Amino acid sequence: MSASWLAFWDTSHSIYVNARHRDVHYRLIATEIAQLVPGGSARVLDYGSGEALHAEIVAAAAGELFLCDGASGLRKQLAARFAGEPKIRCLSPQDVEALPERILDLIVLHSVAQYLTPDEADKLLALFHRLLRAGGILVVSDIIPPTTAAATDALALLRFAAANGFLLAAIVGLVRTRLSAYWQIRRRVGLTRYDETAMIAKLAASGFAARRAPRNIGHNQSRMTFVARARPAS
């Protein structure tokens, strides 16, 4: 991930409009990831986990949960938050690279691919292929199609806010975000987008057999989730 995006996610930003938004967002993500855990002994990696406020939900469904984020300050917060959770370990990207081969049963890359260049994504997918056990699952979610407008994302947030009791805060937050560093970086660096065919082809090129899931993880159903299994290395 570019230094600009890493620095942004490591600051006190306004993407989450209030504490209620942050809580219900992370609870929904954790609940939906937990439903993908293949068994009670599974080792799971949430790569680019963000604040992962409710990672204990995922850990309860798994044998071990690794949380990885490239933002160093955020990792310190994660380590402090889950210090009393024996199933949860907080790792740096370098720690993940040093993991033994074929150690993981499920890897989730949620809302990260848009902040990576295509080459960066390819390197990460190659790493994931090495770390997944035979039959292991890779979930790549929140993929933004090329035709999705910012207004579509805004409308999805407003619907989510209305359903969860923070609509007024969301309206104010959208204005605040539009004037924030997020939009400055987005205009300067941009977001990486894939259509369904391109994402499946990208995963295939990295050794995965993939399909699009019926629903995206999270509240925004204009975006896409892909479920992939690693093919044996030739």
**Better-predicted residue by pLDDT, 149 or 47:** 47
- pTM of the predicted model as reported, rounded to 2 decimal places: 0.94
The neighbour count for residue 3, using CB atoms within 10 Å, is 9
Question: In the Cβ-directed half-sphere of 171, how many Cα atoms lie within 13 Å?
Answer: 4
- Residue 219 pLDDT more than 70? yes
Instruction: Kindly tell me if the per-residue pLDDT of 182 is higher than 90.
Output: no
Q: Judge contact between 9 and 71, C-beta under 8 A.
A: yes
Identify which of 82, 49, 93 has the alpha carbon closest to the alpha carbon of residue 67. Answer: 49
Instruction: State mean pLDDT over 10-25.
Output: 86
> Residue 233's pLDDT is what?
67
- Top CATH class of 3-230 equals alpha beta
- pLDDT single digits (tens) 21-39: 999 999 999 999 999 999 9
What number of other Cβ atoms are within 10 A of residue 197's Cβ? Answer: 9
Tell me what percent of the residues of the chain surpass a pLDDT of 90: 79
Q: How far apart are CA 185 and CA 182, in angstroms?
A: 5
Residue-wise pLDDT for 190-215, tens only, equals 889 999 999 999 999 999 999 999 99
Digit-coded pLDDT (tens) for 121-140: 999 999 999 999 988 999 99
Give the position of tokens 């030739």: 234
Cα(223)–Cα(148) distance, integer angstroms: 8
Q: Is it the case that residue 6 has pLDDT exceeding 80?
A: no
Residue 1 has a pLDDT of 66
pLDDT on residue 58: 98
DSSP 149-176: -HHHHHHHHHHHHHHHT-HHHHHHHHHH
**Averaged pLDDT of the chain:** 93
